[in-house]
């Protein structure tokens, strides 16, 4: 489903990714781990075509991410949901409106938007917070809102870049359980993290990146800090 073939990315003279070869199948839950600056976020940003790799080939299903024209980028991005460490919610919109935005860009009608947003809000347990603004939410609630926004359009893949980075351990576990549930619907999840406890408890596929290279790719891997 997702294919990286000899992908390298240079920022000036710095090599962020070095000949990455990787294949991720539909429905997998993959942890991308490694120290800060290893290239985890770069890998995810290539998948949304926020940045272009310097060399190599990247495919998502039938879409060639390198060759896709700018005007066709929305087609790619509607297949890929993204969750960030800092949530990236719009401060002047309520929880409901933040989630609805993802459906508005898909040109859904108001009735469908209302129905789908209600459904996802109940699933991620923020329905009672739907009229609150992001500044009125706790970290966990904000991240649940961000996840709801990312998945309400039913993307094939969910990219989560350090989604638990700003959360306390208990809240972080709540978010991970939610991601696990979303994965059970068939959505591929690629999560960049350096949370050792979460990675080792979930026992999912672990890809370790160091200095832009994949150093380890285990089906039921572990992550040890050393």
Residue range at the interface with other proteins (CB under 8 A); choices 3-11, 27-35, 102-110, 124-132: 102-110
The answer to whether residue 42 forms part of the interface with other proteins (CB under 8 A) is: no
* Least distance in angstroms from the C-beta of 218 to other proteins: 30
- Taking each helix axis as running N to C, give the angle between helix 139-151 and helix 110-123, from 0 to 180 degrees, rounded to the nearest 10: 130
Q: Cβ(143)–Cβ(95) under 8 Å?
A: no
Beta strand 80-84 pairing with 188-193:
unpaired
The answer to whether residue 191 forms part of the interface with other proteins (CB under 8 A) is: no
Q: Cβ(58)–Cβ(7) under 8 Å?
A: yes
* Least distance in angstroms from the C-beta of 71 to other proteins: 7
Q: Which is nearer to other proteins, 81 or 221 (CB)?
A: 81
Q: Which is nearer to other proteins, 21 or 75 (CB)?
A: 75
Longest pairwise C-alpha distance within the chain = 52
Q: Which is nearer to other proteins, 93 or 216 (CB)?
A: 93
The answer to whether residue 63 forms part of the interface with other proteins (CB under 8 A) is: no
The answer to whether residue 64 forms part of the interface with other proteins (CB under 8 A) is: no
The answer to whether residue 88 forms part of the interface with other proteins (CB under 8 A) is: yes
* Least distance in angstroms from the C-beta of 82 to other proteins: 5
Distance, CA of 78 to CA of 151 (rounded, Å): 10
Distance, CA of 178 to CA of 16 (rounded, Å): 31
What's 85-118 look like in SS3?
CCCCCCCCCCHHHHHHHHHHCCCCCHHHHHHHHH
Q: Cβ(2)–Cβ(157) under 8 Å?
A: yes
Residues 135-174: x where in contact with other proteins by CB under 8 A, - otherwise, as a string: --------------x---x---------------------
Residue range at the interface with other proteins (CB under 8 A); choices 96-104, 121-129, 169-177, 199-207: 96-104
**Burial of 107 from C-beta contacts in 10 A (0-12 / 13-18 / 19+):** exposed
Which one of residues 30, 82, 126, 142 is an interface residue with other proteins (CB under 8 A)? 82
The dihedrals phi and psi of 144, each to the nearest 5 degrees, come to -65, -40
Q: Which is nearer to other proteins, 35 or 74 (CB)?
A: 74
107 - beta bridge partners? none
Which one of residues 13, 62, 107, 225 is an interface residue with other proteins (CB under 8 A)? 107
The answer to whether residue 105 forms part of the interface with other proteins (CB under 8 A) is: yes
Q: Which is nearer to other proteins, 1 or 106 (CB)?
A: 106
């Amino acid at each position: 489903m997702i294919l990286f073939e000899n992908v390298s990315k240079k920022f000036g003279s710095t090599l962020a990714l070095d000949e990455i070869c990787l294949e991720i199948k539909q429905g997998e839950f993959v942890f991308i781990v490694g120290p800060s600056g290893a290239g985890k976020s770069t890998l995810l940003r290539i998948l949304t075509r926020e940045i272009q790799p310097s060399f190599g080939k990247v495919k998502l299903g039938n879409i060639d991410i390198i060759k896709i024209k700018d005007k066709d980028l929305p087609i790619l991005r509607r297949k890929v949901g993204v969750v960030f460490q800092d949530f990236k919610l719009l401060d002047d919109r309520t929880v409901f409106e933040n989630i609805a935005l993802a459906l508005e860009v898909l040109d859904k009608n108001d009735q469908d938007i209302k129905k789908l947003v209600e459904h996802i809000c109940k699933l991620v347990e923020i329905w009672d917070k739907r009229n609150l603004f992001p500044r009125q939410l706790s970290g966990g609630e904000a991240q649940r809102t961000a996840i709801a926004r990312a998945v309400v359009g039913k993307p094939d893949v969910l990219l989560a870049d350090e989604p638990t980075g700003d959360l306390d351990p208990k809240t972080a576990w709540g978010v991970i359980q939610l991601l696990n549930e979303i994965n059970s619907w068939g959505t591929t999840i690629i999560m960049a993290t350096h949370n050792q406890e979460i990675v080792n408890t979930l026992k999912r596929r672990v890809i370790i990146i160091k200095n832009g290279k994949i150093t380890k790719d285990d089906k039921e891997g572990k992550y040890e800090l050393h």
